[in-house]
C-alpha cells in the first residue's frame, strides 16, 4: 500500500470522526513529508527502520508507514475503516448521487483542511467539481482571507486540480448598510 495514501486516508477518517485537529495534522503532515522523499530514500528508511527519525514523522505515523511499505494495510487504518459509520441514516444512498460540493472553506479561512488536501479527498469521494468559498477579509472572526490571500486563492479562476473542476470565489460577509 502507498504510505502517503494510507496517511492521508487516516487523516480524512480522523477528521470525519471529529478527532482532535492536532491528530489530523500529524498524519497529513507526515504524508506531506513522505511524499517529498524519493523511492530510494523511502527504501533506505524502511530497510533501516528509521522512519521515526524523519522530521515530521512520529512513532504512530512511523508504524503506519512501515506497515504500508511492507505491503500491508496499516492496522490503524484498518481499525478506522472498520469503525467508520454513515454520518446520517441513508447517507450512503445520498452520497451516491452527489457529484460535487458548492460550498467549501479551506484552512485559509475557517475550514479545517488545506486546499490541496480537500481536492485530493473530494476526488477520492468521486466528486467532479468543488467550489472553494473562503470568507472575505471582512469576517475576521472566521479568519477571513487577507487581501493577498484573496487575490491568490479566491479570484474568479476556474481550474482543474487532481482531476477536479475547481471554482474559487469568496463568501462575502458583512456588507455595510448605507442608510
Tell me the per-residue pLDDT of 90-100, one tens digit each, with 9 for 90 and over: 877 887 888 88
% of the chain with per-residue pLDDT over 70: 75
17-59 pLDDT, tens digit per residue, is 989 988 999 999 999 999 999 999 999 999 999 999 999 999 9
| pLDDT of 67 over the 90 cut | yes
In words, the CATH class of domain 3-83 is: mainly alpha
Mean pLDDT of 76-94: 88
Q: Sort residue 173 into left (φ over 0), alpha (ψ -120 to 50) or beta.
A: beta
Q: Give span(s): CATH 1.10.150.110, the chain.
A: 3-83
| pLDDT of 109 over the 80 cut | no
Q: How far is it, in rounded angstroms, from Cα 8 to Cα 30?
A: 9
pTM given for the model: 0.68
Mean of per-residue pLDDT scores for the chain: 81
Q: Contact 127/164 with Cβ under 8 angstroms?
A: yes
Amino acid at each position: 500500500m502507498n504510505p502517503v495514501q494510507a496517511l492521508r486516508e487516516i487523516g480524512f477518517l480522523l477528521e470525519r470522526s471529529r478527532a482532535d485537529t492536532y491528530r489530523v495534522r500529524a498524519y497529513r503532515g507526515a504524508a506531506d513529508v513522505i511524499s517529498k522523499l524519493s523511492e530510494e530514500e523511502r527504501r533506505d528508511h524502511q530497510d533501516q527502520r528509521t522512519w521515526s527519525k524523519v522530521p515530521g514523522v512520529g512513532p504512530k505515523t512511523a508504524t503506519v508507514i512501515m506497515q504500508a511499505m511492507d505491503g500491508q494495510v496499516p492496522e490503524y487504518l484498518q481499525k478506522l475503516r472498520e469503525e467508520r459509520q454513515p454520518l446520517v441514516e441513508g447517507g450512503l444512498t445520498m452520497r451516491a448521487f452527489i457529484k460535487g460540493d458548492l460550498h467549501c472553506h479551506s484552512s485559509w479561512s475557517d475550514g479545517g483542511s488545506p486546499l490541496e488536501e480537500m481536492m485530493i479527498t473530494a476526488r477520492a469521494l468521486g466528486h467532479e467539481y468543488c467550489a472553494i468559498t473562503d470568507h472575505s477579509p471582512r469576517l475576521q472572526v472566521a479568519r477571513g482571507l487577507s487581501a493577498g490571500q484573496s487575490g491568490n486563492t479566491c479570484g474568479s479562476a476556474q481550474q482543474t486540480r487532481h482531476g477536479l473542476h475547481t471554482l474559487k470565489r469568496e463568501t462575502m460577509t458583512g456588507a455595510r448598510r448605507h442608510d
